[in-house]
A and B are shown apart, each in its own frame.
Chain A
Amino acid sequence: MMKIMSERALEGLIKTIESEVRIPEGIEEKILVRVFASESEHDPYLMPFERFVYEKPLRIAACISVAISGMLWSVMGGSFANWLIGFIR
């Protein structure tokens, strides 16, 4: 099959679209605003600890319960076990 246009000519033509682009005025600022806005809508900025609490609530609950149990045990001593059994019943 003969070609309507040589491979080289075709490639040369298509590559012209890679030349410098004129960016419409104000578009850079507009997109940046949208980027930050979309983030605040879907993924609010959180401190690392806040993110941990948000992402792993069960781990946080377990840590809190162990800490409270330990504290009560240290205050109540041996009666803590009896108190806990009574509390559960």
Chain B
Amino acid sequence: MWSKKDNKKTYFTEIYTQNFEYIYGYIFARTAGNRELTEEIVQETFAAAWSAIDRFNGKSTYATWLCSIAKNKLRESYRKTIYREKLELSDRDKLEEYADHFDLEKMVIDNETRLYVLEVLESMNPLYRYALIMKYIDGMSVKEISKVLGKTSKAIDGVLQRAKITFAKGYLSLEMKRNDENNE
């Protein structure tokens, strides 16, 4: 397929340039904005693509192909991170009753909000973080998440419940802090 190494490199560089931003953004969101991890997975994704470029069958677009490689690399990373950090459920993760006082319509989605979301996700247990990302960003079902993370559906159900509460509490406390600062 390639007469010379340089031809292959030029061709790959073109694909790389066309898809870099998309793949970077895709991975960035799914690592909850962790720049270091994003860089690592982006590199692993393109390195895998570079070594397999001869086997690309052309049945999908390069973006789709790269995305599926990135998805696998992300899942490997999720599993590694989750098993490295033991899941410990603290008291603050317990299911508690709260008034439903958070209204999406009143919520201003600005860059600051996004930064808060990233901050809260980053501070969460990796299992909670990745369960939320898979559920809300990738739209995966509980069964699918349980397969990726090697846990039972029941366990993931519980994890998601706790993750939602941890996230909501973390976000609301940041919101309150922001409001206090604005009032001062």
Q: List the interface of chain A (C-beta within 8 A of B).
A: 1-21, 23-24, 27-28, 31-32, 34-36, 38-39, 43, 45
Contacts and interface: CB of A to CB of B under 8 A. Distances in A.
Q: Which has the most chain B C-beta neighbours within 10 Å: A5, A6, A8, A15? A: A5
B127 to A, nearest CB: 16
Q: Which has the most chain B C-beta neighbours within 10 Å: A3, A17, A28, A31? A: A17
Contacts of B102: 4-6, 9
Interface string B12-30: 0100110011001100110
B53 to A, nearest CB: 10
A39 B50 contact: yes
B132 to A, nearest CB: 6
A35 B100 contact: no
Contacts, number: 114
B118 A17 contact: yes
Given A10-B168, A28-B20, A45 B107 contact: no
B136 A14 contact: yes
Contacts of A35: 16, 43, 46-47, 50
A27 to B, nearest CB: 7
Nearest to B20: A28
Q: Ordered nearest first, which 9 A-B pairs have the shortest CB separation? A: A4-B98, A5-B168, A5-B102, A9-B104, A4-B168, A14-B136, A21-B25, A16-B114, A18-B29
A12 B136 CA distance: 9
A2 to B, nearest CB: 5
Interface stretch (B32-40, B60-68, B71-79, B142-150): B32-40
A36 B104 contact: no
A14 B121 CA distance: 9
24 contacts: A4-B102, A4-B168, A5-B168, A6-B102, A6-B104, A9-B107, A10-B164, A10-B167, A10-B168, A11-B136, A12-B109, A13-B113, A14-B117, A14-B137, A15-B136, A16-B109, A17-B114, A18-B137, A21-B21, A21-B28, A31-B39, A31-B46, A39-B47, A39-B51
